[in-house]
Amino acid sequence: MVSNLSARTPAVQTKLPAVGTTIFTVMSALAAERNAVNLGQGFPDFDCDPKLTGEVTRAMTAGLNQYPPMPGIAALRTAISAKIGALYGHDYSASDEITITAGATQAIITAVLAIVRPGDEVIVLEPCYDSYVPNIELAGGRVVRVPLTPGTFRPDFDRIAAAMGPRTRAIIINTPHNPSATVWTEAEMRKLEELLAPTDVFLISDEVYEHMVYDGQAHQSAARFPGLAARSFIVSSFGKTYHVTGWKVGYVAAPAPLTAEFRKVHQFNVFTVNTPMQHALAAYMADPAPYLELPAFYQRKRDLFAEGLATTRFRLLPSAGTYFQCVDISELSDLSEAEFCLWLTREIGVAAIPLSAFYGDGFDQRVVRFCFAKKDETLHSALARLAKI
């Protein structure tokens, strides 16, 4: 029998009307189309340590392929707790205060969903990673944008204080900072601690680049500061640290009451995280050398890339952390940042990302971002092309 009813797809009332195709997708597709060197998206083009993949194989062949505990395997949470204690002097309970997540992005949205209620305000410091704002909007919160100081990308505490009000539920910070490559100082973290002390505002501290801090500086984790640690969800990423961004494994450290709320959401959006990867990471963390040596590893790449760019008309901005190098294009072109990145990819064969993509209003300050987490030959190839400008 043939139905006379017509098939109809109901109209969707989008929860994210401002979200479309991201600049990262656009630039990566264009780079592939033009066979350009892709220094746009932030991922390495080199392999991780074979010892790490060997640990994955070992875990799989040992039969560790079924669901792990919801918060993550005990060995990995214990290793993370020990690392944080050794580096930052704060003791987190492995059982009650560390949770393994499906990457840092999942960690951030889970933290937001755990604490933000409809109508709550959350402060974000622009330019910022592109998941923050949609996360807040999905939770029914209101985004309050506070710009970092243009040019230096330092926090403006007077503006942050002015943005805080009775509905402020949380603030999200990111150090080392993507996209600007700035690193917060101890004095700035203490200023934030002082500012938040009389409030009930939570802190989501995105520290995925914690092991990429250069020139002898120390990463100022929120865990170092008791007044911040007591109100913080601290987020980090194994993908960034161990060159395995596709594994999508991260973690959150937070006081037990905050962790309890975090896990209520976590268990219903991912429940748990890839078992053999967790066992591999736990075994690999027994040797701290890979993350302790990471600053020197990436500082050498930063310096190689910066030395090459120094012979061009790009003006280099400081790169104190992360694996990004921002450059001022004012002396090169009258094009907007976005138009310049399209031109650079099509005509020069190198992909970059405009900083305007990290601002809600598309603020254009003539700065673009390169990623130097690449093989040396990739960087030399990019530099040879950029020298033609």
CATH code for position 67 = 3.40.640.10
Q: Greatest CA separation found in the chain?
A: 76
Q: Are residues 169 and 242 in the same domain?
A: yes
pLDDT per position as a tens digit, 73-99: 999 999 999 999 999 999 999 999 999
Would you say residue 86 lies in a domain?
A: yes
Would you say residue 8 lies in a domain?
A: no
SS3 77: helix
Would you say residue 2 lies in a domain?
A: no
pLDDT (average), residues 136-146: 98
Q: Are residues 194 and 77 in the same domain?
A: yes
Of residues 6 and 158, more confidence is placed in 158
Q: Are residues 251 and 320 in the same domain?
A: no
Mean pLDDT for the chain overall: 96
pLDDT per position as a tens digit, 352-371: 999 999 999 999 999 999 99
- Which DSSP state fits 21? S
- Which DSSP state fits 321? B
The last residue of one of the domains, among 231, 258, 286, is 286
Would you say residue 11 lies in a domain?
A: no
Residue 215 pLDDT: 97
Residue 19 pLDDT: 87
Q: What is the DSSP string of 50-75?
A: HHHHHHHHHHHHTT--S---TT--HH
Q: Determine which helix (DSSP H) or strand (DSSP E) holds 93, and give its type and residue range.
A: none
Residue 37 has, within 13 A of its CA and on its CB side, a CA count of 21
Residue 6 pLDDT: 83
Residues 231 and 69: beta-carbon distance below 8 Å: no
Residue 2 pLDDT: 63
Would you say residue 214 has pLDDT above 70? yes
| Conformation bin of residue 150: beta by default, left when phi > 0, alpha when psi is -120 to 50 | beta
CA of residue 63 relative to chain centroid, distance: 32
Residue 24 pLDDT: 83
Q: Are residues 62 and 179 in the same domain?
A: yes
Could you tell me the pLDDT band of residue 41, with boundaries at 50, 70 and 90? confident
pLDDT (average), residues 151-161: 97
Using the structure block, give the residue that is written with the tokens 């961004």.
Answer: 245
The last residue of one of the domains, among 286, 313, 330, is 286
Would you say residue 7 lies in a domain?
A: no
Q: Are residues 279 and 297 in the same domain?
A: no
Would you say residue 134 lies in a domain?
A: yes
Q: Are residues 261 and 312 in the same domain?
A: no
Per DSSP, what are the bridge partners of residue 321? 213
Q: Are residues 86 and 121 in the same domain?
A: yes
Distance CA 170, CA 209 (A): 21
Q: Are residues 206 and 138 in the same domain?
A: yes
Residue 387 has, within 13 A of its CA and on its CB side, a CA count of 12
Tokens for 333, please give them.
């072109």
Would you say residue 16 lies in a domain?
A: no
Q: What is the DSSP string of 264-305?
A: HHHHHHT-S--HHHHHHHHHHTTS-HHHHSHHHHHHHHHHHH
Rg of the chain over CA atoms, in angstroms? 22
Sign of CA dihedral 88, 93, 94, 99: negative
pLDDT (average), residues 198-217: 98
Structure pTM?
A: 0.96
Closest CA to 84 of 251, 321, 274: 251
Could you tell me the pLDDT band of residue 1, with boundaries at 50, 70 and 90? low
Look at strands 367-371 and 202-206 and give their pairing. Answer: unpaired
Residue 22 pLDDT: 82
Q: Are residues 297 and 346 in the same domain?
A: yes
Would you say residue 14 lies in a domain?
A: no
Q: Are residues 74 and 193 in the same domain?
A: yes
The last residue of one of the domains, among 286, 313, 334, is 286
CATH code for position 376 = 3.90.1150.10
Q: Are residues 211 and 131 in the same domain?
A: yes
Would you say residue 44 has pLDDT above 70? yes
Per DSSP, what are the bridge partners of residue 213? 321
Cis geometry, peptide bond prior to residue 226 (ω within 30 degrees of 0): no
pLDDT per position as a tens digit, 276-322: 999 999 999 999 999 999 999 999 999 999 999 999 999 999 999 99
Per the structure, how many domains does the chain have?
2
Would you say residue 195 has pLDDT above 90? yes
Q: Are residues 93 and 217 in the same domain?
A: yes
Instruction: State the residue range of the domain holding 356.
Output: 23-42+292-386
Residue 3 pLDDT: 66
The percent of residues in the chain predicted with pLDDT above 90, rounded, is: 94
